[in-house]
């Protein structure tokens, strides 16, 4: 029988006692009446305490789960943003290739920079462009000549498109075949 209000009202509870709380600032007292029998004694249960080891373990698991969930959300969002940017770039390159009406490869500036070893070996120079020697590692070491427009102005953009279109359509044994182009930001290369 338990009386927790200091009054006459008592409630009958079954053992083990559970869901109790210890409030150090409270002046209340709980009185517990236990039967006087020589029967086997029932072990006492631990009173709920905030510093209980089990509660700390649950807090750790909840914190760890929240942290992992947060990291997962950030990684998934990063992947979505990267995928969206990559698809946009690929679509732009495909549109640029299709805009010339030719079946040419659209190279990145970085690919051609690596192929020419940083534009080291110069083969020739014209009024508006310089030609460099390079090796395409992706095509089994194919030797290439990369024409780089030196002065890139908006009016040169139309000139560049006209040159890509003209050279791409030309098929003569004495002329080199146009494999592709780079039309990235301020870089115009053939």
What are the extents of the domains in the chain? 105-189
In this predicted structure, the answer to whether residue 132 has a pLDDT above a threshold of 70 is yes
The pLDDT of residue 52 is: 61
The whole-number average pLDDT for the span 106-132 is 86
The pLDDT of residue 1 is: 47
DSSP 8-state assignment for residue 103 = -
Rg over alpha carbons for the chain, rounded to the nearest Å, is 40
Q: In which band, very low, low, confident or very high, does the pLDDT at 109 lie, cut at 50, 70 and 90?
A: confident
The pLDDT of residue 73 is: 95
134 neighbors 114 (Cβ within 8 angstroms): no
Q: Which residues pair with 132 in a beta bridge?
A: 122, 146
Retrieve residue 37's tokens. 């029998």
pTM across the whole model: 0.46
Retrieve residue 6's tokens. 């200091």
Q: What are the start-end ranges of the H helices in the chain?
A: 53-99, 109-115, 154-169
Retrieve residue 36's tokens. 């006087």
Which residue would you say has higher pLDDT here, 22 or 143?
A: 143
The answer regarding whether domain 105-189 maps to CATH 3.30.200.20 reads: yes
For 101, 128, 138, the CA distances from 152, given in Å and listed in that order, are 23, 9, 28
Give 42-81 pLDDT, tens digit per residue: 555 545 454 566 677 888 889 999 999 999 999 999 999 9
DSSP 8-state assignment for residue 176 = P
Report the alpha-carbon distance of residue 162 to residue 140 in Å, rounded.
Answer: 30
The whole-number average pLDDT for the span 15-29 is 65
Query: CB atoms < 10 A from the CB of 152, how many?
Result: 15
% of the chain beyond a pLDDT of 70: 59
């Amino acid at each position: 029988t338990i009386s927790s209000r200091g009054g006459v009202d008592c409630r009958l509870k079954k053992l083990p006692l559970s869901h109790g709380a210890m409030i150090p600032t409270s002046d209340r007292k709980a009185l517990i009446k236990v039967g006087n029998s020589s029967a086997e004694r029932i072990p006492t249960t631990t009173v709920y305490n905030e510093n209980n080891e089990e509660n700390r373990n649950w807090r750790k698991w909840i914190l760890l789960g929240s942290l992992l969930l947060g990291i997962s959300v950030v990684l998934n969002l990063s992947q979505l943003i990267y995928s969206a940017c990559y698809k946009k770039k690929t679509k732009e390159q495909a549109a640029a290739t299709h805009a010339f009406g030719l079946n040419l490869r659209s190279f990145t500036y970085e690919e051609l920079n690596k192929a020419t070893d940083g534009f080291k070996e110069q083969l020739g120079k014209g009024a508006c462009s310089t030609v460099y020697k390079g090796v395409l590692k992706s095509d089994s070491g194919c030797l290439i000549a990369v024409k780089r427009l030196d002065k890139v102005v908006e009016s040169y953009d139309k000139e560049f498109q006209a040159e890509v279109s003209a050279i791409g359509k030309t098929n003569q044994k004495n002329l080199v075949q146009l494999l592709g182009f780079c039309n990235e930001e301020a870089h115009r290369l053939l």
